[in-house]
Amino acid sequence: MTTAEDLIARSNRLGADPKNTNYAGGNTSAKGTATDPVTGQDVELLWVKGSGGDLGTLKESGLAVLRLDRMRALVDVYPGVEREDEMVAAFDYCLHGKVGAAPSIDTAMHGLVDAKHVDHLHPDSGIAIATAADGENLTKEIFGDQVVWVPWRRPGFQLGLDIAEIKAKTPQAVGCVLGGHGITAWGDTSEEAEKNSLWIIDTAAAYIEEHSKAEPFGPALEGYAALPEEDRRTKAAALAPTIRGIASADQPMVGHFNDSEVVLDFLAHEAHPRLAELGTSCPDHFLRTKVKPLVLDLPADASVEDSITRLKELAVSYREDYQNYYDRHADQNSPAIRGKDPLIVLVPGVGMFSFGRNKQTARVAGEFYVNAINVMRGAEGLSTYAPIDESEKFRIEYWALEEAKLQRMPAPKPLATRVALVTGAASGIGKATAKRLAAEGACVVIADLDLAKAQAAAAEIGNSDVAVGLAADVSDEAAVQAMFDAAVLAFGGVDLVVNNAGLSLSKSLLETTERDWDLQHDVMAKGSFLVSKAAASVLIEQEMGGDIVYISSKNSLFAGPNNVAYGAAKADQAHQVRLLAAELGEHGIKVNGINPDGVVQGSGIFAGGWGAKRAEVYGVKEEELGKFYAQRTLLKREVLPENIANAVFVLCGPDLSHTTGLHVPVDAGVAAAFLR
């Protein structure tokens, strides 16, 4: 096994267990030799996890590879701690080879320490000791002289020099606790480094378990205990649009909901307001969660109405407080303020809402705050939680290097941060639409009468950070509400709704029964009404605008034979577009429609008997129906589900931001269905 392969295996093992480090937290390294392709001579190299990425999923492409001779030479030109940021750019001149990740700010910690293998990790148990008010004494008591306390220092070249000096002066030490931050361990072999890392983590955890006070967060607060699961999730769904709107005042955000026992227990005890106000400590934590959360200061049984009123009041205070925080510490060289809205919102008895520019970021932000709660519990159980100073948090949050990292991120896709809900999305037009919206950056809810098919369609698109499948009968008001409740708990809210669910029975007037009529109107006319009503409730409360798109039909305009119930239902949908566009415009909600014709391929409607009936009406074979429809159009082209999906994207994308009340024909040209 090569040095790099051995390092990757160790990194994956450490990163796979959340007790060792948080997602994308920490870094690992190994030193070894390789052949210089220019001289043919052996050269000593450092392989280290590069900027970004995650230990648990690290691959060779995520490693930065540097020449150790050149890196060690940087010590002689180091200009001092006031200019240490310049050293990050200098790492680029130490790189070996043509590929690999960019070196991270922690590279010096790995390169300068005289050990073959180094691990820097962010375990909850280690950070609990690192953030305890008497963390230095605890480190001595827990580890003796095998682990050394390092007072808080911002990650960088000087911290690397400090740890290198500790390693040189205390040869018996196997690692150190970095005040306010995490741990670093080392070894002469990969196995030894990993063993030392795990020993520090497990020893700290065992000490906390044995010596912690019974109630680290203080006594239980009356009225703040967790609501029963069904009640708290119902309340969470009712609050979600308001909370997402609060978190998205400056820029749109996707959300994630967490009602784990860790969160609910924290919020049920007396110390949670004080600890939440102190904020997180580890740089990885507060860069993802902001310096502190917004906490609703009402008991669990507070009404939804009272909770919404108070949340909106607290949002104003939070924004003012964050602006003051920025003003206290910013200077002429600081990056512009990045937004004053909370990324973590805590609701006693209900749970935690976390936010980010995509679902994964939102979910991980919540995971980081769970890490922070665990850290607070450990520190309070042994001592008093004492995170790094606010000024130090600001230095990292608005670090020029952090700003440069943000500027290097790729431009977002057109529908990034938007949450789309598509009904009837397990096949045909709905499925194609969901795929297109996801490809353009949206999170997608696949809703269908058949849960298994909805979940399978979602799995084709991506994992649960991208798409989820839900069962929903759009003709049932309670089922529609449950669908939206599940959607807002999955992604924080909804921005874009596509009324696509439908069916058709091809019968003449005399053959059409009352049941036939009711079924088609229940699904399409009534169903679209119910979905749009539930959607509007969410969209209005979010105050972020939005889109509602109706997949109507050419038949809303064209009077074809043996089609009375379907055509009438589609005409109802078409007029709903105009009515709702007029009503919802004041809220920034656009309502538009699409009139397809003859979408045979992949269609659940056509496969369910409609195709055979229409083929019989027109006197053609069912398998030739698509070609028949194409030949009656002006363009002589068959209409595919993807053509409808393209139109949905255009209506909801950035180029038609001022268009509402429009019906777009996607029928390859049917003159009888021209809009008049």
Q: How far apart are CA 514 and CA 484, in angstroms?
A: 30
Alpha-helical regions (H) of 619-669: 625-631, 641-652
Q: How far apart are CA 584 and CA 579, in angstroms?
A: 9
Task: Tell me which DSSP letter residue 655 carries.
Answer: G
CA distances (Å), origin 498, targets 131, 419, 640, 661: 49, 11, 17, 14
DSSP 3-state percent helix, strand, coil across the chain (nearest 5): 50, 15, 35
Q: How far apart are CA 487 and CA 356, in angstroms?
A: 17
Tokens of 470: 């839900």
Q: Quick count: other Cβ atoms within 10 Å of Cβ 608?
A: 12
Contact yes or no for 143/96 (Cβ under 8 A): no
Instruction: Report residue 28: phi and psi, to 5°.
Output: -130, 160
Contact yes or no for 111/137 (Cβ under 8 A): no
Q: How far apart are CA 115 and CA 111, in angstroms?
A: 9
Q: Is 411 helix (H, G, I), strand (E, B) or coil?
A: coil
Tokens of 370: 């769970």
Q: Is 354 helix (H, G, I), strand (E, B) or coil?
A: strand
Site of tokens 């000096």: 165
Q: Quick count: other Cβ atoms within 10 Å of Cβ 667?
A: 28
Q: How far apart are CA 275 and CA 370, in angstroms?
A: 13
Q: Which of 13, 57, 20 is nearest to 371 (CA)?
A: 20
Q: Is 70 helix (H, G, I), strand (E, B) or coil?
A: helix
What's the CA angle centered on 398, arms 395 and 399, to 5 degrees?
Answer: 70
CA distances (Å), origin 632, targets 571, 584, 596, 629, 664: 22, 37, 14, 5, 19
What's the CA angle centered on 40, arms 39 and 45, to 5 degrees?
Answer: 90
Q: Is 69 helix (H, G, I), strand (E, B) or coil?
A: helix
Q: Please confirm, yes or no, whether 550 is among the known catalytic residues.
A: no
Contact yes or no for 213/159 (Cβ under 8 A): no
Q: How far apart are CA 270 and CA 664, in angstroms?
A: 57
Catalytic residue among 385, 550, 566, 629: 566
Task: List Cβ neighbours of 587 (8 Å cut-off, separation of 6 or more).
Answer: 536, 539, 540, 543, 545
Q: How far apart are CA 331 and CA 188, in angstroms?
A: 44
Q: How far apart are CA 91 and CA 455, in angstroms?
A: 47
Site of tokens 């029963």: 228
What strands lie across the sheet with 117-121, from one edge to the other? 63-67, 42-49, 27-35, 117-121, 182-187, 175-178, 147-150
Q: Is 344 helix (H, G, I), strand (E, B) or coil?
A: strand
Q: Which of 240, 238, 139 is nearest to 184 (CA)?
A: 139
What's the CA angle centered on 216, arms 214 and 222, to 5 degrees?
Answer: 90
Q: How far apart are CA 191 and CA 669, in angstroms?
A: 69
Pairing of strands 419-423, 117-121: unpaired
Contact yes or no for 285/368 (Cβ under 8 A): yes
> Any idea which residues carry the catalytic annotation?
566
